[in-house]
Structure 1
Amino acid sequence: MKAILGQHHVSAMTGDAKKNLRFYTEVLGMRLVKKTVNQDDPSMYHLFYADETGTPGSDLTFFELPFLGQTYRGSSSISRTALRVPPGALTYWLKRFAEFDVLHDPVEEVRGRPTLYFEDGEGQRLCLVEGGSGTPWSNGPVPVDVAIFGLGFSEWTVRRLEKTGRVLTDVLGYRFASEFERNEQTVRVFETGEGGVVTEIHLVDRPDVPSERPGRGSVHHVAIRVEDDLEMEQWVERLNEFGISHSGLIDRYYFKSIYFREPSGILVELATDGPGFATDESVETLGERLALPPFLEPRRDEIEAKLKPL
Structure 2
Amino acid sequence: MILKGIHHVSAITANAKNNYDFYTNTLGMRLVKKTVNQDDPSMYHLFYADEQGRPGTDFTFFEIVRAGNTYQGNNSISFTSLRVTSDHALKYWEKRLDEYEVVHHGITETFHRKVLPFQDHEGQRIMLVSDQSNEGVAAGLPWSESPVPQEYGITGLGPVRLTVPELAPTERILVDVLGFRSIGSYPANQQGQPDIQVYQTGEGGTGAEVHIEERDDLAKERPGRGSVHHVAFRVADTEELAKWRDKINKERLANSGLVDRYYFQSLYFREPNGILFELATDGPGFITDEDADHLGEKVALPPFLENRREEIELNLVPLQTDK
Partner Cα distance (1:46, 1:240) in 2: 29
Residue aligned with 2:311, SS: helix
Counterpart amino acid of residue 8 in structure 1? H
- Per-residue CA deviation, residues 233-277 of structure 1 (Å, 9 max, x unaligned), is 100110011111101000000000000000110000000000100
Counterpart amino acid of residue 109 in structure 2? E
Q: Does 1:272 align with 2:281?
A: yes
Residue 174 of structure 1 corresponds to 180
Residue 140 of structure 1 corresponds to 146
Partner Cα distance (2:157, 2:222) in 1: 25
Residue aligned with 1:167, SS: helix
Counterpart amino acid of residue 115 in structure 2? T
- Per-residue CA deviation, residues 55-104 of structure 1 (Å, 9 max, x unaligned), is 00000000001111000111000000000001120110011000000000
Residue 49 of structure 2 corresponds to 50
Residue 233 of structure 1 corresponds to 242
Q: Does 1:201 align with 2:205?
A: no
> What is the CA-CA distance between 1:282 and the residue it aligns to?
1.1
Residue 102 of structure 2 corresponds to 102
Counterpart amino acid of residue 305 in structure 2? L
Report if the CA contact (8 A) 2:57-2:140 is conserved.
Answer: no
Counterpart amino acid of residue 252 in structure 2? G
Q: Does 1:291 align with 2:300?
A: yes
Partner Cα distance (1:182, 1:281) in 2: 44
> What is the CA-CA distance between 1:111 and the residue it aligns to?
1.6
**Structure 1 residue ranges without an equivalent (≥5):** none
Report if the CA contact (8 A) 2:188-2:213 is conserved.
Answer: no
Report if the CA contact (8 A) 1:105-1:118 is conserved.
Answer: yes
Partner Cα distance (2:188, 2:286) in 1: 37
Report if the CA contact (8 A) 2:15-2:63 is conserved.
Answer: yes
Query: How do 1:2-21 residues align onto structure 2 when only pairs under 5 Å count?
Result: 3-21=2-20
Query: How do 1:183-222 residues align onto structure 2 when only pairs under 5 Å count?
Result: 183-184=189-190, 185=193, 186-222=195-231
> What is the CA-CA distance between 1:108 and the residue it aligns to?
0.7
Report if the CA contact (8 A) 1:225-1:271 is conserved.
Answer: yes
Aligned positions, number: 309
Residue 282 of structure 1 corresponds to 291
Residue 66 of structure 2 corresponds to 67
Q: Which of 232, 253, 257 does residue 223 from structure 1 map onto?
A: 232
Residue 259 of structure 1 corresponds to 268
Residue aligned with 1:97, SS: helix
Partner Cα distance (2:112, 2:151) in 1: 21
- Per-residue CA deviation, residues 35-64 of structure 1 (Å, 9 max, x unaligned), is 000000000000000000000000000000
Report if the CA contact (8 A) 1:160-1:263 is conserved.
Answer: no
Residue aligned with 1:145, SS: helix
Residue 150 of structure 1 corresponds to 156
Partner Cα distance (2:182, 2:172) in 1: 10
> What is the CA-CA distance between 1:161 and the residue it aligns to?
0.7
Counterpart amino acid of residue 45 in structure 1? Y
- Per-residue CA deviation, residues 93-123 of structure 1 (Å, 9 max, x unaligned), is 0110000000000101112211000000100
Partner Cα distance (1:84, 1:256) in 2: 25
Report if the CA contact (8 A) 2:54-2:140 is conserved.
Answer: no
Counterpart amino acid of residue 91 in structure 2? T
